[in-house]
């Protein structure tokens, strides 16, 4: 099956700092989403971005499908940005949404 | 529009019992998919239902089963529970689902946290 690798596994930031999270995938995909999992376990949609660039407030994402990676940018981080960020992909030749292992972000005041 | 709801939110069972979890999708969504999240294995796809039909299934034993009703609500059943079934079970809904070359955003519910003793 498709391999989804996220880096770094852990990230500690000072409030106000910027950061970049990366998601590499091993095969072509029809669907790529970024999620933030809150402390209670709910996955919150951040972006649906199989290709191109999108921005939403302090967050933005870019997917380069031909090179099989996606980036999530967090600017001017706040303590409420803490949590686990997941990348999930739907392979073009399969119908199972596959998740990376996640990046745990801790933002310190 | 109401989000995806899951019931119950927390559940404690003992080994050998069975359990049924429920998921109500966003109104108008026809696809419901289920996922298991554990610290060791991460988030894993269980199965997807679309218009009452199971369209795809992950690599889980037959003890894990599900169904979808005509109103798109879905249930997931785990029989003969094992300690390793302790996990957060998440469901997601979408309009187009995961198959057919067209996909759209998956919206997740809050999850059911199952503990098997």
- pLDDT digit string, tens, across residues B70-105: 999 999 999 999 999 999 999 999 988 887 556 778
- B104, A88: Cβ pair inside 8 Å? no
Using CA of residue A73, residue A91, residue B35, residue B100, what is the dihedral sign? positive
Mean pLDDT along residues B57-62: 94
What phi and psi, each to the nearest 5 degrees, are found at residue B84?
Answer: -70, -10
Q: Which of A40, A44, A90 lies at the smallest CB-CB distance from B98?
A: A90
Could you check whether the bond before residue B88 is cis, i.e. omega within 30 degrees of 0?
A: no
Could you check whether the bond before residue A68 is cis, i.e. omega within 30 degrees of 0?
A: no
Q: Coil, helix or strand for A65?
A: helix
Measured distance CA(A21)–CA(A74) in Å, rounded: 8
Minimum distance, in Å, between the CA of residue B107 and any CA atom of chain A: 7
- pLDDT digit string, tens, across residues A37-96: 988 888 999 999 999 999 999 999 999 999 999 999 999 999 999 999 999 999 888 888
For residue A7, pLDDT over 60 is answered with yes
Measured distance CA(A81)–CA(B65) in Å, rounded: 36
Mean pLDDT along residues B42-67: 94
Provide the pLDDT for residue B100.
Answer: 59
**Count of CB atoms within 10 A of residue B107's CB?**
19
Tell me whether A56 touches chain B (CB under 8 Å): no
Residues of B in contact with A35 (CB under 8 A): 108
Record the tokens describing residue A49, joined without a space: 């971005």
Tell me whether B39 touches chain A (CB under 8 Å): no
- A101, B108: Cβ pair inside 8 Å? no
Q: Which of A11-15, A90-94, B54-58, B72-76 has the lowest mean pLDDT?
A: A90-94
Provide the pLDDT for residue A2.
Answer: 93
Minimum distance, in Å, between the CA of residue B46 and any CA atom of chain A: 9
- Nearest residue in chain B measured CA to CA from A47: B105
For residue A32, pLDDT over 60 is answered with yes
For residue A105, pLDDT over 90 is answered with yes
Mean pLDDT along residues B6-35: 97
Helix and strand numbers (H, E) in chain B are: 0, 11
Mean pLDDT along residues B51-78: 95
Mean pLDDT along residues A11-31: 96
């Amino acid at each position: 099956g498709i391999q989804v690798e996220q880096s770094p596994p852990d990230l500690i930031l000072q409030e106000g700092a910027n950061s970049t999270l990366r998601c590499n995938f091993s095969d072509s995909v029809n669907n790529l989403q970024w999620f933030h999992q809150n402390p209670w376990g709910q996955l919150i949609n951040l972006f649906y971005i199989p290709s191109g660039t999108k921005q939403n407030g302090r967050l933005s994402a870019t997917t380069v499908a031909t090179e099989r990676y996606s980036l999530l940018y967090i600017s001017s981080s706040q303590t409420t940005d803490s949590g686990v960020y997941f990348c999930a992909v739907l392979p073009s030749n399969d119908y199972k949404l596959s998740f990376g292992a996640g990046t745990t972000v801790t933002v310190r005041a | 529009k109401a989000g995806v709801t899951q019931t119950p939110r927390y559940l404690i069972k003992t080994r050998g019992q069975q359990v049924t979890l429920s998921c109500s999708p966003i109104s108008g969504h026809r696809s419901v998919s289920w996922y298991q999240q554990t610290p060791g294995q991460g988030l894993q796809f269980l199965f997807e239902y679309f218009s009452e039909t199971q369209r795809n299934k992950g690599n889980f034993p037959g003890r894990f089963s599900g169904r979808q009703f005509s109103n798109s609500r879905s249930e997931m059943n785990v029989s003969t529970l094992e300690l390793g079934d302790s996990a957060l079970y998440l469901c997601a809904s979408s309009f187009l689902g995961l198959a057919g070359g067209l996909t759209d955003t998956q919206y997740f519910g809050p999850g059911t946290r199952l503990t098997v003793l």
